[in-house]
């Protein structure tokens, strides 16, 4: 039986071989599958079939999405969607500074990528640094300027305001996020704000709803 390291090397080797074949047989006139992935649900993370194959296969076999994304981005370093997904995985592992860097790469490649601006703002919100919260507000302002119909963006702004102690300003943003999409994280964040405002009964109601709400 192959050890995990051998499996990773086998997958990477096969994918790199596939990359060479794909470049040889793919006409340059073919349109990209997906240059970026601006939404939270995307079938293809990379326009290169080789890089996408590496990401999907490596994640399936060894459950190391960060490592597989990093290798895929070496094949296709100009993919904003790839850096966005890398940022999300880094954030989930509480590697917030690295997540901020990955979001920054996505933004540099595609300045109009609203979800990348939001991702960077939310990673900044996790740091115990008021200067980062201020930068996060600038990021989320840009995201909302690009798309003010996304509930998650309003939740991010509300959460940043909550972190800054500006609870009365945070609540309308949280209300808008919950109204648009009553997800578990939106409800939990609003509960924190309500509790801070002394509205414990309403906070408890949100927490009860969060227990059975759609996951984040």
Which of 8-17, 25-34, 36-45, 111-120 shows the lowest mean pLDDT across its residues?
A: 25-34
Q: State the pLDDT confidence band at 62, using cuts at 50, 70 and 90.
A: very low
| CATH 1.10.10.60 assigned to 7-135 | no
176 in Cβ contact with 164 (< 8 Å): no
Residue 161: per-residue pLDDT:
98
Residue 46: per-residue pLDDT:
66
Q: Domain ranges in the chain?
A: 7-135, 149-216
Tokens found for residue 48: 């290169």
Mean pLDDT of 126-151: 98
CATH architecture of 149-216: Alpha Horseshoe (1.25)
Nearest-angstrom CA–CA distance, 158 and 153: 9
Residue 14: per-residue pLDDT:
38
pTM: predicted TM-score of the whole model, two decimal places: 0.75
Residue 57: per-residue pLDDT:
57
Same fold for the pair 7-135 and 149-216: yes
pLDDT higher than 70, residue 11: no
Nearest-angstrom CA–CA distance, 206 and 43: 33
Nearest-angstrom CA–CA distance, 103 and 123: 9
Residue 65: per-residue pLDDT:
83
Q: State the pLDDT confidence band at 16, using cuts at 50, 70 and 90.
A: very low
pLDDT higher than 70, residue 8: no
Instruction: Give the Cβ contact number of residue 67 at 10 Å.
Output: 15
Residue 208: per-residue pLDDT:
96
Mean pLDDT of 172-185: 97
Nearest-angstrom CA–CA distance, 63 and 66: 9
């Amino acid at each position: 039986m192959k050890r995990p390291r051998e499996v990773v090397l086998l997958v990477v080797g096969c994918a790199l071989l596939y990359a060479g074949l794909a470049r040889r047989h793919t006409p340059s006139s073919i349109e990209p599958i997906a240059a970026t992935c601006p939404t939270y649900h995307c079938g293809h993370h990379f326009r290169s079939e080789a890089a996408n194959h590496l990401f999907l296969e490596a994640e399936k076999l060894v459950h190391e999405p960060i490592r597989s994304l990093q290798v895929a981005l070496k094949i296709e370093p100009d993919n904003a969607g790839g850096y966005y997904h890398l940022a999300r995985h880094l954030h989930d592992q509480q590697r917030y500074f690295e997540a901020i860097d990955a979001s920054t790469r996505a933004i540099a490649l595609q300045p109009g990528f609203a979800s990348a601006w939001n991702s960077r703002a939310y990673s900044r919100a996790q740091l115990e640094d008021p200067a980062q919260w201020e930068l996060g507000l600038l990021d989320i302002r840009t995201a909302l300027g690009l798309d003010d119909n996304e509930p998650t963006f309003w939740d991010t702004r509300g959460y940043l305001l909550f972190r800054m102690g500006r609870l009365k300003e945070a609540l309308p943003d949280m209300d808008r996020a919950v109204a648009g999409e009553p997800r578990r994280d939106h409800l939990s964040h609003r509960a924190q704000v309500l509790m801070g405002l002394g509205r414990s009964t309403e906070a408890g109601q949100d927490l009860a709803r969060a227990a059975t709400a759609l996951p984040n």
